[in-house]
Structure 1
Amino acid sequence: MRRTSSSGRALCWASLSGRWALHERHVSVSPLSGTLWRPSVWCTGTRDHQRGRARAVKTLGAHPIQRRGLRCSAAVPERSLSTADKTQQLLQVLRAVIDPDLGEDIVTLGFVQNIEFDSDGTVSFDVELTSPACPIKESFREQCTQLAETLPFVKSAQVRLTAQSPRAKSGGSGAAQDTLAQVANIVLVTSAKGGVAKSTTAVNVAFTLARLGARVGILDADVYGPSLPIMVSPDGGQTRVRLTPEGLMVPLVRAGVKLMSFGYINPDPAMLRGPMVSSLLTQLIQQTEWGPLDYLLVDLPPGTGDIQITLGQVLKATAAVVVTTPQRLAFADVVKGIQLLDKMAVPPVAVVESMAYFVAPDTGRRYDLFGKGHSARLSRDFGIRNTFHVPLWPEINEAGDTGTPITLSVPESSEIFQCYRRIAEGLVQECARVRFGASLIPQARWDPAQREIIVRLDDQTEERIRPASLRRACRCAACVDEYTGSQLLDPSSVNEDIYPNQMMNVGNYALAVNWSDGHQSIMPWERFLTGYRSASRSRQAGPSAARDSVVAAAE
């Protein structure tokens, strides 16, 4: 049955959207005869992208109902969608959700799982995160919910956020493989110089990760001067580790964080020679029952000696965090620490500058007690983009002496917690990029025939660079003033015939070049490669003044 009017407006039932929609174009009525010109129409539902066959057409207006000569033709019934069809459409719309760390959509990454459709129009599914401490998990939930509810057969969407469980690592044998098999990420917290608040950083980042939902452990690897027993008081007043029937040591626990230190085994001073310390540390790692962990933070002793080398051999570390202070001497030690990490094949993904400044509580004035710091230079010279500044807060030091870390006691809205939260979230993102291969490590070689440096980005892409241009772009302290940024190197002093004697990768982030003029440069890939996606940023490198000075033409 249809009611017609001269206005030609039609109220159409869209079979896919299941709603009435008002249209003015598809139905028209002759004002003289009242004849319906188009008895069958296509109409658009309330959702712009859905179209369906109209089951009935009613025109609204003042004309009487035209019964004579009109027949109501039944619409062709819509084919009901199968579960497979619905699943395919759901996955298609969810491809719009991109993981910013890995640079892929969550469907391609396999994060969407356990899809279920109910008869009432509800769809539920899991989104598996790389870490329970993922800083953008709520953004994932919101995007997935909104996209799923755009589908015509979905009335509501329920998105469950899950996290990947650490899986036993295959290959190899021995106790180290067994006890660390369920540890997803091993992070070294290191500094080549003592007294830079390295242990304070490791402890507070660990408890911040735990408050964000991750399963965390801390290993105090300083046998001579263990600090964990002083900084963290275990639950239940326990001060000594116990053994399992298999002879493994059970870590102590505080607020869900597993703790292991030589100080929990022997409170007396460790008067041991180097080889004995290395053996003791190996046992401490291999004979501890860690269980499933998302992150194991290893608090290294300062320096670049036996213990660091031993850990590099025993542990398959995911990444490292370098802790320093603003002093120039500390920066020199940071460079040594980064070079050691490179030899250990452990990528440094963040630099934490502790005691960076002090804010007077009465005036709010900032004081740079130890100078301006060198985080900008670290970023410039080594391509480490994650640099964090922790102010000199008296509360942090006071909490470290009470056995309760500051990040365990302050509210999440506090400035101190937010400071460590930024460090923890940056670490979570970098570990995901390293583990899931979001970084691209170029390979460089010298072509003496063409007198060009050829850098291969992948199997299809190469970039060619003139050596003299790359040498002039060096930003080391001998070429650029580290405080003012002014150019010290005279570009005209670089001979056009200069060439590299040796080139080697520095971690995942830079190229070290020994030049024929005796100079050595460390050049972050981002500075001079147009097609490089840094492991520290996982996105296309943008233009920079330094890179613009380098002629890099794709072959």
Structure 2
Amino acid sequence: MNLQLYRARRLAASTAQVAFVACRKPHRRFSAMISTFRASPPLVHASCRLLPSNDVKRITFLSTLSSPRARAALEGELMEIMRRAVSEHEAIVRDLTVNADGRVTCTLILRSGALNGEALRSAAADAIESMPWATGSEIRLKLATPPSFMGRHAPASLSKVGALVAVSSCKGGVGKSTVALNLACALASKGARVGLLDADVHGPSLPSLVTLPAGALPIVQQAATKLLQPAEAHGLLLMSYGYIAKGASINATSGAAMRGPMTGRVAQQMLSGTDWGALDYLLVDMPPGTGDVQLTLAQTYGFTAAVVVSTPQRVVLADVLKGIDVLKELKVPILAVIENMAFFTDESGKRHFPFGKSQLGAVCAHAGVDETCAFRLPLDPQVSGAADAGSPVVRSEGAAAANELFGALADTVVRRTHALQDELALQRNAQLRFDPARGVVLRFFAGPDEGRELVLPRKELQRLPGAPAGSASQVPASVELCEGPERGIAVRVRWEGGGESSISLDDIKRIAAQ
């Protein structure tokens, strides 16, 4: 029998010590025999038992965990594993510590409340438990303070707002306000911190769609900051001209008789003059048209992205396409397209199309939106009934279909907004270029990867799907950042000979680490 003696460290404050002896059994699997004895002679044998081979490995590591240098090395190894298990697009691992008893503690900083924190915690725990020396874990969840969508130039009221998303349509009466409210509630139901601004000064809808709790009006201006305190309902922060106009507190407001430039200034004051606090998403219910409000907000603050709402009528389609052209001109990415009032279903289950056949395909093609980001909302009496009652339909009982649809729309907004934010952060903090001798080079100047350089060699470029055949033509005309197919961002390569290829940033990191 071949014996191998493992040194034992003091595992507790008691006077008992443990000696570990591994032996090869006839079935050729390792077991261990433990003898417990007193530290001071004479040695007194107390007990003896066999351990499985996995426990032998754990005992072996535990014998080295008393060394700070060894624990630091294990922390570095575990950090790399954790980064693969928990995407940095969703959470950042902080304060990772390996303790002398094999327990691991760390904090996951969630970039948005809409992310499934428990699923991320479970993935992190699985990664820790895969280490043979780990005896347990304590993983804390914390919400990050969002960096402003405006960067360093944000006013104090918007300095902690992560994304400014417009709910837009050039045509009025298509249901923008209903979509904006229910989308905001769907995001809040996922745990996101959400605000909703009704930017339609001439025809504010929010006061009719949401019944505020008693005492919410009048809106108060903070003495120290001069910022308006937004109303709160359904887990949302709300602001509308209908809340601040003369007579709002007694529900006796009159029409806003003001010219276009004035409406733009009022919308601007409501956006930057409200104390929004820390928000993952601030949705803006835009007025119809392409006038002062749209131009003022887009050019002054810059929308992160937009959600476009349409209906099947051809007369609506013409105006919606014009609105999409303006969004493109203002360089506002489009996250999703919603066709409202698309159909209704009778008692027999048959679908009817009172406003004609769907125009969703044409809108998506013009907006450059994939069909996975296109949604059709039916004519549903529950939706109008909830609106008349002053409550979003996603907060109503028995509205499973509406909850599922707006939940899917919210998931799309979360996923694509994060990808756009990552792309913008990379554009600010990194340099991407093609080096004929080395390949695609990405260097980080700021952020968690500051000082790091990733290189995608030319031989790997030749293996990308869509790369042209022949070494002479395999020269990129340009390389640029783009949205990845699933989550995060990617690098798009446009070839001199025509065509393009793409590879995710995660894959580039994996190749560079090899």
1:183-225 deviation digits (Å, cap 9, x = unpaired): 1111111001111110000001111111211111111100111
Note closer, same or farther for the CA distance 1:145–1:160 as it changes in structure 2 (3 Å cut): same
| Selected match of 2:433 from 454, 459, 484 | 459
Could you tell me how far apart the structure 1 residues matched to 2:302 and 2:343 are? 35
| Selected match of 1:97 from 82, 85, 90 | 85
Could you tell me how far apart the structure 1 residues matched to 2:97 and 2:65 are? 20
Aligned twin of 2:92 = 111
246-255 or 187-196: which moved more?
A: 246-255
**TM-score, with length taken from structure 1:** 0.65
Aligned twin of 1:254 = 233
Deviation of 1:159 after TM superposition, in Å, equals: 2.8
Aligned-residue RMSD, C-alpha: 4.0
Aligned twin of 1:349 = 335
Deviation of 1:320 after TM superposition, in Å, equals: 0.7
Could you tell me how far apart the structure 2 residues matched to 1:537 and 1:384 are? 14
Aligned twin of 2:128 = 148
Note closer, same or farther for the CA distance 1:282–1:85 as it changes in structure 2 (3 Å cut): same
| Selected match of 1:263 from 242, 245, 258 | 242
Deviation of 1:533 after TM superposition, in Å, equals: 4.7
Could you tell me how far apart the structure 1 residues matched to 2:235 and 2:315 are? 37
Could you tell me how far apart the structure 1 residues matched to 2:146 and 2:397 are? 30
379-388 or 288-297: which moved more?
A: 379-388
| Selected match of 1:403 from 377, 387, 390 | 390
| Selected match of 2:358 from 367, 373, 377 | 373
SS in 2 for 1:459: strand
Aligned twin of 1:510 = none
SS in 2 for 1:111: strand
8 Å CA contact 1:13–1:21 kept in 2: the answer is no
Aligned twin of 1:364 = 349
Unaligned runs of 5+ in 1: 3-9, 28-42, 55-76, 100-104, 442-456, 463-528, 542-546
SS in 1 for 2:162: strand
8 Å CA contact 1:242–1:250 kept in 2: the answer is yes
Alignment of 1:150-299 (within 5 A): 150-167=130-147, 171-172=152-153, 177-246=155-224, 247-266=226-245, 267-299=253-285
| Selected match of 1:433 from 416, 419, 432 | 419
Note closer, same or farther for the CA distance 1:363–1:44 as it changes in structure 2 (3 Å cut): same
Note closer, same or farther for the CA distance 1:26–1:398 as it changes in structure 2 (3 Å cut): closer
Aligned twin of 2:53 = 45
Write the letter of the residue equivalent to 1:395.
Q
Aligned twin of 2:472 = none
Deviation of 1:142 after TM superposition, in Å, equals: 2.4
Could you tell me how far apart the structure 2 residues matched to 1:346 and 1:148 are? 41
Which of 1 and 2 has greater Rg? 1
The answer to whether structure 1 residue 332 and structure 2 residue 318 are counterparts is yes
8 Å CA contact 1:207–1:407 kept in 2: the answer is yes
Query: Which structure has more helix as a fraction of its residues?
Result: 2
**TM-score, with length taken from structure 2:** 0.70
Unaligned runs of 5+ in 2: 9-19, 31-50, 246-252, 437-477, 502-514
Write the letter of the residue equivalent to 1:225.
G
Write the letter of the residue equivalent to 1:147.
A
8 Å CA contact 1:14–1:44 kept in 2: the answer is no
Deviation of 1:438 after TM superposition, in Å, equals: 7.4
Count of aligned pairs between the two proteins: 412
Note closer, same or farther for the CA distance 1:278–1:92 as it changes in structure 2 (3 Å cut): closer
Deviation of 1:166 after TM superposition, in Å, equals: 2.4
Note closer, same or farther for the CA distance 1:337–1:14 as it changes in structure 2 (3 Å cut): farther
SS in 2 for 1:345: coil
8 Å CA contact 1:203–1:218 kept in 2: the answer is yes
8 Å CA contact 1:358–1:367 kept in 2: the answer is yes
